[in-house]
Amino acid sequence: MAAQLEQVGFDGAYTFEGQNDPFIGLAAAAMRTQRMDLMTSIAVAFARNPMSLAYQANDLQLLSNGRFILGLGTQVKAHIERRFNMPWSKPAARMRDMVGAIKAIWHSWETGEKLCYDGEFYQHTLMSPTFSPSANPHGIPKIYIAGVGPLMTQVAAEVSEGLFVHPFHTPHSLASVTMPAVAAGLEVAGKQRDQFDISAQAITATGLNEEQLQAATFSARSQIAFYASTPAYLPVLQAHGWEAMQPEANKLSREGKWAEMAELVDDDILHTFALVGEPDSVAAQLLERFEGKVERVSPVIYAPDGAVLTSLLEAIRGRQG
With H, G, I as helix, E, B as strand and everything else as coil, classify residue 98.
helix
The confidence band for 321, taking pLDDT boundaries of 50, 70 and 90, is: confident
Q: Is 37 helix (H, G, I), strand (E, B) or coil?
A: strand
Residue 315 inside a domain? The answer is: no
- Domain contains 237: no
> Do the domain assignments include residue 117?
yes
Query: Of 81, 235, 75, which Cα lies nearest the Cα of 169?
Result: 235
Residue 276 located in a structural domain: no
Nearest to 282 by CA among 319, 249, 310, 312: 312
Residue 52 included in any domain = yes
Helices 150-159 + 179-189 axis angle, to 10: 40
Q: Is residue 36 part of a domain?
A: yes
d(CA 240, CA 255): 26
> So what's the pLDDT on residue 198?
98
- The answer to whether position 85 is within a domain reads yes
Residue 267 belongs to a domain = no
Q: Which residues pair with 258 in a beta bridge?
A: none
Domain coverage including residue 119: 1-147
22-50 confidence digits (pLDDT tens): 999 999 999 999 999 999 999 999 999 99
d(CA 95, CA 73): 8
| Contact residues for 273 (Cβ-Cβ < 8 A; gap 6+) | 168, 169, 170, 203, 220, 224
CATH code (residue 143):
3.20.20.30
pTM: 0.93
The DSSP secondary-structure symbol of 273 reads H
| Tally of structural domains, the chain | 1
Confidence of residue 141 (pLDDT cuts 50, 70, 90): very high
Residue 74 has pLDDT above 80, yes or no: yes
Under a CB-based contact definition with an 8 Å cutoff, are residues 118 and 125 in contact? yes
pLDDT digits (tens, 9 = 90+) for 262-306: 999 999 999 999 999 999 999 999 999 999 999 999 998 887 778
